[in-house]
Structure 1
Amino acid sequence: MFELIQVADNSYYIQSPAKIGLVKLNDADVCLIDAGNDKDAGRKVRQILDTKGWHLKAIYNTHSNADHIGGNQYLQRQTGCKIYAPGIDCDFTRHPILETSFLYGGYPPKDLRHKFLMAKESDAEYLTDEVLPEGFQSIPLPGHFFDMVGFRDGDDVVYLADCLSSRETLEKYQIGFIYDVAAYLETLEMVKTLEARLFVPAHAEATENIAPLAQFNIDKVNEIASKIVEFCRAPICFEQILQKVFNEYGLVMDFEQYVLVGSTVRSYLSWLKDTGSLDVEFADGMLLWRAV
């Protein structure tokens, strides 16, 4: 873990729970794509930089989930590097309590205010084309999170953030976190058409051909959507739908999984209602979902 792997002349990634991209800007300076999940991850990244004699110039965050920005604060304080994040995710990076509050739907209890869901604050600036290194291109990848992006570097290596999961992860956990299902599917359809020297997803193996994995993720979304519609053949409340999802896929409920899977199921419900597969009714002081 935290092994530096070179994939092109100036392109690397650091093998970690969420892969960290590293690109050489010149003989002395490098930038990172994401920063790992916490201070310890940042420290391990710093050790790699020191061993190589590289200076960290900037961190380009793909989105604001804690496992991608958790190392920001440590690395920024140690190196003085700039941090850039896209759109709404920049605000979440500056104020990580927003992410935990968004997931819970209110002020989160301390059970949820931990490093796996709430990173340390970092002094991030908005990502624009003007702050990208020469030869870099940002690629909008909405769906998993608000304004998530990926990056294509000067070696034609594409870093794909969390826009898809590995087959192994989906087969084990079945349901990955999604904020906007419609945007997620559109992103995956776009990703299927991309060509690059190499693709580096954060949570799957690097590959020269990303299309089959993108399609596998699309198929899993459609499978889950079909099951949710089936659960709603008779009017049913959200908590019962969530229970059925957990039971169907053999998931273990705890506070963290309640908010992560629960938020995702709510996103499915919104998408299915917007597309006409579900509707709602109100009875006995409850909102009930039903198939159309």
Structure 2
Amino acid sequence: MFELCQVGENTYYINYPVKVGVYRANENEVYLIDSGNDKNAGRRIMKKVLDENKWKLKGIINTHSNADHIGGNAYLQQQTGCKIFTSGLEAAFTNYPVLEPSFLYGGYPFKEFRDKFLLAQPSNAVDIGDPDFPNELESIPLPGHFFDMIGIRTPDDVVFLGDCVSSRAVLERYQICFIYDIAEYLDTLDKVETMEAAVFVPSHTEAVEDIRGLVSINREKVYTVSSRILSLLRTPMSFETLLKHLFTGFNIAMTYDQYALIGSTVRSYLAWLKDTEKISASFEENVLVWKTKKTDSKCSMKY
């Protein structure tokens, strides 16, 4: 699967496991929106898209710094000298990608956490405030999934959404999809739900003209996971015990990558639920124990 799909006069995306946007600034120069998941993705973009169309790569705009979105950066920058743009903390994670597995693991990541799925090669990125950022492209703040994720709207009214929404199939397969900040993610879903565009291009599902259905199922999944956590915490338990119950209950296979991604996400859910006073935490025999505040009430979340 590696097909260049046109969705506007000058806007395309590469149909790949992580969709890569292509904006043609003029007859000869293009910008990429994300770069794929590894060096091989960068090499294929160079050969099958840039070289075959005789396009010069002017720059790469990363929606955020997860390894599957910046994996082709280093190769493409080395080959072309292109500039790479991203937003806020995403630039730090792009320049120093060991920050991602370190953040997910909560310390220095052992080798199983230093694979290409969590650790990209470093590339030199600057903030989107840089004067060379193409001013015809609109950057849209979309925090929540990651620190300072952005979307990009092209002059063709095509909006690239990064990892704002996942497909129903992905949600059913993984059940708990990675989110850094639950409150900001829900705010971003509300924002995206009211947006209008000719075409929306999420990174991990099909392009659509109406984004509201995808927003709805992603919001529903957040509350499904929240309710499951609240229900489980009627019985006070530690994080590791909670994580085991969630993996078992959702029929998720425990792997190193899933432990890092889902474990980090569950901690984010716990932070959100504690900050909104749905749960409490205390230390018992030197173990941090989580529990619902009202164990005799039905565990439900307001939509």
TM-score (norm 1): 0.99
d(CA) in 2 for partners of 1:36, 1:71 = 5
SS of the aligned residue for 1:225 comes to helix
Aligned residues: 292
**Aligned-residue offset at 1:234:** 2.0
1:258 corresponds to: 259
Partners of 1:21 and 1:34 within 8 A in 2: yes
Please, what is the CA RMSD of the aligned residues? 0.8
1:185-196 map, 5 Å:
185-196=186-197
Structure 1 stretch displaced more, 200-209 or 134-143: 134-143
SS of the aligned residue for 1:12 comes to strand
d(CA) in 2 for partners of 1:147, 1:2 = 28
d(CA) in 2 for partners of 1:248, 1:33 = 37
Which amino acid is the alignment partner of residue 37 of structure 2?
Answer: N
Which amino acid is the alignment partner of residue 274 of structure 2?
Answer: K
Gaps of at least 5 residues in structure 2 are 294-303
Structure 1 stretch displaced more, 121-130 or 232-241: 121-130
Partners of 2:63 and 2:162 within 8 A in 1: yes
2:64 corresponds to: 63
Which digits, 9 at most, give the CA deviation of each residue in 1:82-141, with x for residues without a partner? 001110010000000000100000000011111110000001111227443242110001
Partners of 1:23 and 1:30 within 8 A in 2: yes
Distance 1:129-1:212 versus aligned 2 partners, 3 A rule: farther
**Aligned-residue offset at 1:270:** 0.3
1:53 corresponds to: 54
**Is 1:283 aligned to residue 281 of structure 2?**
no
2:243 corresponds to: 242
Partners of 2:85 and 2:133 within 8 A in 1: no
**Is 1:273 aligned to residue 274 of structure 2?**
yes
1:10-21 map, 5 Å:
10-21=10-21
Partners of 1:62 and 1:161 within 8 A in 2: yes
2:136 corresponds to: 135
1:32 corresponds to: 32
d(CA) in 2 for partners of 1:218, 1:69 = 26
d(CA) in 2 for partners of 1:67, 1:126 = 19
Partners of 2:37 and 2:67 within 8 A in 1: yes
SS of the aligned residue for 1:240 comes to helix
1:82 corresponds to: 83
d(CA) in 2 for partners of 1:234, 1:169 = 30
Gaps of at least 5 residues in structure 1 are none
**Aligned-residue offset at 1:53:** 0.4
Which amino acid is the alignment partner of residue 2 of structure 1?
Answer: F
Percent of matched pairs sharing the same residue:
54
**Aligned-residue offset at 1:221:** 0.1
Partners of 1:134 and 1:154 within 8 A in 2: no
TM-score (norm 2): 0.95
